[in-house]
Chain A
Amino acid sequence: MDLSYSDEEKAFRAEVRAFLEEKLPKEMSDKIRKGEELGKAGQEEWHAILNKQGWLAPNWPQKFGGAEWNAVQRHIFEEEAAAHYAPRIVPFGLSMLAPVLQKFGSQEQNDYWLPRILSGEDWWCQGYSEPGAGSDLASLKTEAVLNEEGTHYIVNGQKTWTTLGQHANMIFCLVRTDKAVKQQEGISFLLIDMDTPGVEVRPIILLDGTHEVNEVWFTDCKVPVENLVGEENKGWTYAKYLLTHERTNIAGVGFSQAGLTAVKRIARAEMAGGKPLMENPHFAARVARVEIDLLAMSTTNLRIVSKAAAGAAPGVESSMLKVKGTIIRQEINDLARRAAGAYAMPFASEAIEGSNLALPDPLNAGPVAAQYFNNRKLSIFGGSNEIQRQIIAKTTMGGGA
């Protein structure tokens, strides 16, 4: 047992820090710190900076142009990136589609799509959930029928909660290709060009006013058969593989650490009873409690990360980290809005770039209440916390639950 990082890991952290200090544009980190929307162009700019450094795809094997970092290195990067208020990496192409292509896609698909993900030529979004298929994803109804010539699938149906679909030109979808078999056995994994006639993207405005997610409708869309990934009707297997990737960094340790720093900063600026709120024993206790939880959780995360770095596939621990990690992040969001007092009330939003400039913000708190509401999504998406608990129960109680 040795709780300290190795010399190599420390050197790696120093390298990451130096990179962030030199290459992360200040106006970009300012925006992230203030909780402002980066926008498509800003996001692409950050991707390009990382790509130039060779760090855009930390989890990809080097032969595909990735950094091939181990889990500990990825963790160090995520921690430093959050501490420096770097934008997050938009995960859909890089860490959700790419691993599936690399494992199940053809040589041609990898040769064509992977470089375009790195260069930013394609912006991917994910077409999984449907209005009737949320937690019960396998009941999805969007169907793809092969035409008589066998050249194209004709796709009809609707996807929803499509994050940043408004920026995307490509969508990877789970579609039903066989209705006669068991639900899970009739699903395929299909890549669809969003410019195909019959694709329509409709915005969904979230409760904090942001346009983050969309509905995507398909009406008689012609999709070339070359865009099928792997085998027909094996999509569920691929999706499950992808979900294990979606759940790496699901603990959000870096976000929580940055969030807690922000809470303390706000609570030092906010006055209560003539003293900084941070000196109020009751508030300080709330902060300390979540800090203690975070310290333990980040250690759990490191334990799992170390195991993964040694080659073990994360199992039920991913679900545990998702549940605990999101509870902690949401608690920190709650503390931030609490700390801001009456100044949490103005409708500060990430919705419109620069829209918060006219708002009073003497605490320099940013849109804390909007973030509190927006981050209720953390325990809903990527497999709700109820689904995660079900996975934990099923796994640990041998199917008896």
Chain B
Amino acid sequence: MNFDLTEERQMLQDSLRRFLRDKYDTATRNKILESDTGFSADIWNGLAELGVIGALFTEDQGGFGGAGFDIAVVFEELGRAGVVEPFLDTAVLGGGLIADLGNDDQKAHVEEIIGGALQVAFAHGEPASRYDTNRVTTTAKVDGDNVVLNGRKAVVVNAENADMLVVSARESGDAGDEDGISLFLVPADAKGITLQGYALLAGGRAAEITLDDVTVPSSARLGEAGKAFKAIEARVAAANVAICAETLGAMETACRLTRDYLMTRKQFGKPIGTFQALAHRMSDLLIEMEQARSAVIVAAGHLEAGYKSRESHVSAAKNLLGRAGRLVAEDSIQMHGGIAMTQEYELAHIAKRIIMSDHRFGDTDHHLERYIAIAAA
């Protein structure tokens, strides 16, 4: 057993942490939050140059990482700094699906993604799908050499900034069937696409997408017709590892801020951390932090494992991080008191990142049920 990072990953972690510490302070981040685009091109390009996007793809795909541990290292640092730029959407999800399923022409986009030049969004969730990855009602109808897409996609993160959309649509079967789902690589400015964009509570932006007779050539399909579900599931698993690691990083920051505050804030003539009621709660948070760290390590380490092992460990981590994250976010705010309720204080944004991570690709309960179902299968 060896729980140390490899030399390459250690270097990646160090350089990423340094970059974000120098360039992504609270004031800068708050400005990004309020911007129209919801992200900073400078930060994006800087991180691309640093190799952060490349680390999320395998060597075969043109990157130099792509494993669960690479994803975990990158996203823990992004989470620690409360980064809102859409690495998850462009690289892990959109870019990942293109890399996994695309033909040579389509795969050419991966190089642009790694270089930071191309933005992608994964248009998959629908108004009635909640966290079910198989519930797709958007339709794809073949029309000669073309395919016509119709439907509605919900809360598509990074849709407005995206050059390309990876759109899921059903070619056969019923709403909940795993079989029959295809993916299409659609230019964001294709005729028939309407975006209704908005800011997100924890930073970044998303949009509701309406697809109204969007016509693309058959060559826009990623992989085989109706057979995209397995790839979607694998990428959602990778996304959940990323989200868990990001949440872990954010929890680290929340705990650091809280511990510092308990040691400096004085009431009744002494630091409030000397009051046992608070000291013990802080200790509980630190215990849960270790639980969370282990859950992330185990999930990351099983991302390349077989289906059942992978899904079971990923759901375990998402369930645990949902519980531990809520505890850390809520108790950090509570132990700070009013100051943590203010927008300009670092913890406010960090707490929002932690809590809202429970709303992407399955919450605590969803993954508990999934964990049980996988064990029973």
Show the binding face of A for B, using Cβ within 8 Å. Answer: 129, 132, 134-136, 139, 160-161, 204-209, 213, 270-274, 277, 280, 282-283, 286, 330, 334, 337-338, 340-348, 358-360, 362, 369-370, 372-373, 376-377, 379-381, 384-386, 389-390
| Inter-subunit contact B334/A376 (CB<8 Å) | yes
> Which bucket holds chain B's interface residue count?
35 or more
Q: B28: which A residues are within 8 A, CB to CB?
A: none
Known interface pairs A282-B365, A342-B125, A380-B338; A136-B355 also in contact (CB < 8 Å): no
Q: A207: which B residues are within 8 A, CB to CB?
A: 340-343, 348-349, 351-352
* Distance in Å: Cβ of B176 to nearest Cβ of chain A: 6
Cα(A340)–Cα(B358), bound, Å: 11
| Inter-subunit contact A273/B132 (CB<8 Å) | yes
| Inter-subunit contact B333/A271 (CB<8 Å) | no
* Distance in Å: Cβ of A178 to nearest Cβ of chain B: 19
Q: Does B278 contact A (CB under 8 A)?
A: yes
Q: B272: which A residues are within 8 A, CB to CB?
A: 135
Q: Which residue of A lies closest to B326 (CB)?
A: A334
| Inter-subunit contact A338/B363 (CB<8 Å) | yes
Q: Which residue of A lies closest to B265 (CB)?
A: A134
| Inter-subunit contact B201/A346 (CB<8 Å) | yes
| Inter-subunit contact A347/B130 (CB<8 Å) | no
| Inter-subunit contact A205/B343 (CB<8 Å) | yes
Q: Does B298 contact A (CB under 8 A)?
A: no
Q: Which residue of B lies closest to A370 (CB)?
A: B201
Q: Does B359 contact A (CB under 8 A)?
A: yes
| Inter-subunit contact B130/A386 (CB<8 Å) | no
| Inter-subunit contact B200/A347 (CB<8 Å) | yes
Known interface pairs A343-B155, A376-B334; A338-B125 also in contact (CB < 8 Å): no
Known interface pairs A205-B344, A345-B206; A270-B330 also in contact (CB < 8 Å): no
Q: Does B306 contact A (CB under 8 A)?
A: no
Interface residues of B in 253-299 (CB under 8 A from A): 266-268, 272, 275, 277-278
Contact with A along B334-371 (1 / 0, CB 8 A): 10011011111000110110011011100101101100
Known interface pairs A134-B337, A161-B338, A360-B198; A373-B352 also in contact (CB < 8 Å): yes
| Inter-subunit contact A346/B206 (CB<8 Å) | yes
Q: Does B199 contact A (CB under 8 A)?
A: yes
Cα(A161)–Cα(B338), bound, Å: 8
Known interface pairs A342-B130, A347-B201, A360-B196; A206-B208 also in contact (CB < 8 Å): no
| Inter-subunit contact B352/A206 (CB<8 Å) | no
Contact of B201 (CB < 8 Å), options: A132, A277, A345: A345
Q: A208: which B residues are within 8 A, CB to CB?
A: 201
Contact of B130 (CB < 8 Å), options: A204, A206, A341, A373: A341
| Inter-subunit contact B199/A343 (CB<8 Å) | no
Cα(A385)–Cα(B208), bound, Å: 40
Q: A376: which B residues are within 8 A, CB to CB?
A: 330, 333-334, 340-341
Task: Contacts A135-B267, A380-B333 known; list 9 others, CB within 8 Å.
Answer: A205-B342, A272-B366, A274-B175, A282-B365, A330-B330, A345-B202, A345-B360, A369-B356, A376-B341
Q: B348: which A residues are within 8 A, CB to CB?
A: 207
Cα(A330)–Cα(B326), bound, Å: 12
Q: Does B148 contact A (CB under 8 A)?
A: no
Q: B349: which A residues are within 8 A, CB to CB?
A: 207
